């Protein structure tokens, strides 16, 4: 293949950020360490789920509130070693049956009175059976008046069959690339699975104009990754020019990632700060930073950080979470239990944890500031002013803005939060047997 952009003097893109803000103090210093250790404790303290309880139904929606819908598809053709998401190895019959139960769960949710403007399908790989996905999207539009559909996929599922079922149905397609560098693709097991960086680049290039928004997910801070290598990745993304780009720091899941991390090596905190700074410096025109992690074209507004935009959400499918009226619910991670519960007319949520209003305030402040709101609607006095003292916010009241250092501190905080959620996922997956990976009782399959 030809035309794969490589740039060795990537530093020529650097400039807009330092000169614009006058504050480039993104360092792994004592304040980042402090934020990390406070967050780790907070996550441990707050994310304590009840033992399996007999939750029979999610609460009804509260009038005047808006909700978002998240739907989880827990299947992948092959499993990446570092991945902390809830997923099983793809099995055609199980996945097809799963979609039937999922649609039944959607009907149950509509019967409770929920309506959603937007739906986000995540996984796993949402496009494992494109016909089933399309049917499920159509039902979401019919039941909930959904206007905006977002799905995640991987480079292998950018093919004519998938495009036939997604173009025209999906408003935002998010493709997990992680890196275009073959050395790191190989180390994280994605080169064999999804092809070289060059092949993946051309796949995404071909679909850029087929969807209103294409997002490319990138990862940084691989052990040993140099600024030069990251710069080349950023340069490649800039050349590709998708409508959105999200840069996540590498996170090892607490258990699954442990073995993998041993092989890969430690991802350093110092380098995380340096790499973060490089990304913010290089992601200039035509992009604007929308959250601590996400960039989009200046003319676009579609960001899928649903935790930022939506205070409450309903999660359907095995392993999904809902946050409703101060309570976080976790759906069963066993496909068998999931199907049995839906067949019995029960919610798939089996665990929950309720939060006090003060804890919700803290959580909302974190996600609003992660969404770069210097003057968040939720401002617990101590926490907000502590972040101000650390230099995360400049100015006051309506004029308050998140500083570059603040963007990094919020990135550190969200990483800790997602680590906590990974811990819960892994705890809930522990003890699953092969029976939990299949939907056995097909006599209870809902009619479609
Ligand atoms: S990283 Fe993506 S493709 Fe790999 S196992 Fe996880 S969800 Fe599946």
DSSP secondary structure string for all residues of 127-154: TSSHHHHHHHHHHHHHHH---EEEEEE-
Task: Identify the three-state secondary structure at position 214.
Answer: strand
pLDDT value, residue 150: 95
Asked if 327 and 89 touch (Cβ cutoff 8 Å), the reply is no
pLDDT value, residue 15: 40
pLDDT value, residue 80: 79
- Please state the pTM of the whole predicted model: 0.91
Whole-number Å distance, alpha carbon 321 to ligand 1 midpoint, is 18
- Bridge partner list, 349: 331
Asked if 161 and 135 touch (Cβ cutoff 8 Å), the reply is no
Tell which atom from ligand 1 comes closest to the C-alpha of 176: 2
Task: Identify the three-state secondary structure at position 425.
Answer: helix
Kindly list the protein residues whose Cβ atom lies closer than 6 A to any atom of ligand 1.
76, 79-80, 83, 85, 87, 123-125, 154, 176
CA atoms of 247 and 262, how far apart (whole Å): 23
Query: How do the residues of the chain divide into helix, strand and coil, expressed in percent and rounded to 5?
Result: 45, 15, 40
Whole-number Å distance, alpha carbon 427 to ligand 1 midpoint, is 18
Residue 119: φ, ψ to 5°: -130, 140
Between the CA of residue 80 and those of 51, 186, 189, 193, what are the distances in Å? 29, 11, 6, 9
- Residue from 75, 80, 191, 195 whose mutation best tests the ligand 1 pocket (most atoms within 8 A of CB): 80
pLDDT value, residue 7: 61
Asked if 226 and 173 touch (Cβ cutoff 8 Å), the reply is no
Full pLDDT tens readout for the chain, 448 residues: 456 776 655 544 444 334 334 455 888 889 999 999 999 999 999 988 877 677 999 999 999 999 999 999 999 998 877 787 899 999 999 999 999 999 999 999 999 999 999 999 999 999 999 999 999 999 999 999 999 999 999 999 999 999 999 999 999 999 999 999 999 999 988 999 999 999 999 999 999 999 999 999 999 999 999 999 999 999 999 999 999 999 999 988 776 666 677 777 777 888 999 999 999 999 988 899 999 999 999 876 555 555 667 789 999 999 999 999 999 999 999 999 999 999 999 999 999 999 999 999 999 999 999 999 999 999 999 999 999 999 999 999 999 999 999 999 999 999 999 999 988 888 888 889 988 988 767 777 888 8
Whole-number Å distance, alpha carbon 232 to ligand 1 midpoint, is 24
Looking at residue 434, the DSSP 8-state letter turns out to be G
- Bridge partner list, 149: 119
Tell which atom from ligand 1 comes closest to the C-alpha of 123: 7
Asked if 413 and 390 touch (Cβ cutoff 8 Å), the reply is no
The domains found in the chain, sorted by start residue, are: 16-42+357-428 (no CATH), 51-309 (3.80.30.20)
Asked if 365 and 383 touch (Cβ cutoff 8 Å), the reply is yes
CA atoms of 209 and 207, how far apart (whole Å): 6
Asked if 254 and 17 touch (Cβ cutoff 8 Å), the reply is no
Which are the contacts of 129, defined by CB distance < 8 A and separation ≥ 6?
Answer: 92, 95, 96, 99
pLDDT value, residue 24: 53
Whole-number Å distance, alpha carbon 76 to ligand 1 midpoint, is 6
């Amino acid at each position: 293949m030809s035309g794969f952009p490589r740039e060795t003097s990537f530093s020529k893109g650097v400039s807009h950020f330092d000169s614009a803000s006058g504050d480039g103090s993104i360092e792994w210093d004592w304040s980042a360490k402090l934020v990390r250790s406070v967050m780790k404790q907070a996550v441990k303290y707050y994310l304590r789920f009840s033992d399996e309880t007999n939750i029979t139904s999610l609460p009804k929606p509260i009038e005047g509130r808006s909700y978002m819908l998240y739907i989880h598809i827990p299947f992948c053709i092959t499993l990446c070693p570092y991945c902390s998401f809830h997923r099983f190895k793809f099995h055609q019959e199980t996945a097809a049956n799963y979609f039937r139960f999922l649609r039944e769960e959607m009907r149950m949710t509509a019967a409770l009175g929920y309506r959603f403007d937007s739906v986000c399908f995540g996984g796993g790989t949402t496009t494992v059976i494109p016909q089933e996905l399309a049917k499920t999207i159509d039902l979401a539009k019919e039941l909930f008046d959904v206007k905006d559909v977002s799905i995640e996929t991987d480079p292998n599922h950018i093919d004519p069959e998938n495009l036939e079922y997604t173009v025209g149905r999906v408003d935002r397609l998010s493709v997990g690339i992680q890196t275009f560098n073959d050395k790191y693709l190989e180390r994280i097991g994605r080169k064999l699975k999804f092809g070289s960086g060059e092949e993946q680049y051309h796949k995404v290039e071909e679909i850029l104009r087929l969807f209103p928004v294409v997002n490319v997910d990138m990862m940084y801070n691989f052990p040993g990754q140099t600024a030069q290598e990251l710069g080349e990745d950023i340069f490649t993304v800039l050349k590709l020019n998708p409508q959105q780009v999200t840069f996540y720091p590498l996170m090892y899941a607490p258990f699954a990632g442990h073995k993998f991390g041993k092989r890969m090596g430690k991802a350093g905190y110092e380098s995380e700060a340096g790499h973060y700074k490089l990304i913010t410096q290089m992601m200039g025109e035509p992009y604007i930073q929308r959250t601590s992690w996400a960039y989009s074209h200046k003319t676009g507004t579609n960001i899928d950080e649903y935790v930022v935009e939506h205070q409450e959400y309903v999660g359907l499918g095995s392993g999904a979470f809902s946050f409703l009226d101060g309570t976080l619910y976790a759906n069963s991670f066993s496909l068998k239990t999931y199907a049995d519960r839906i067949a019995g007319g029960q919610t798939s949520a089996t665990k929950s944890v309720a939060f006090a209003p003060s804890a919700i305030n803290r959580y909302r402040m974190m996600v609003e500031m992660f969404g770069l709101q210097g003057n968040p609607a939720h401002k617990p006095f101590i926490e907000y002013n502590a972040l101000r003292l650390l230099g995360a916010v400049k100015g006051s009241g309506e004029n308050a803005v998140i500083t570059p250092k603040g963007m990094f501190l919020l990135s550190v905080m969200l990483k800790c939060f997602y680590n906590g959620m990974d811990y819960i996922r892994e705890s809930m997956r522990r003890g699953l047997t092969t029976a939990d990976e299949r939907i056995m009782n097909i006599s209870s399959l809902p009619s479609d």
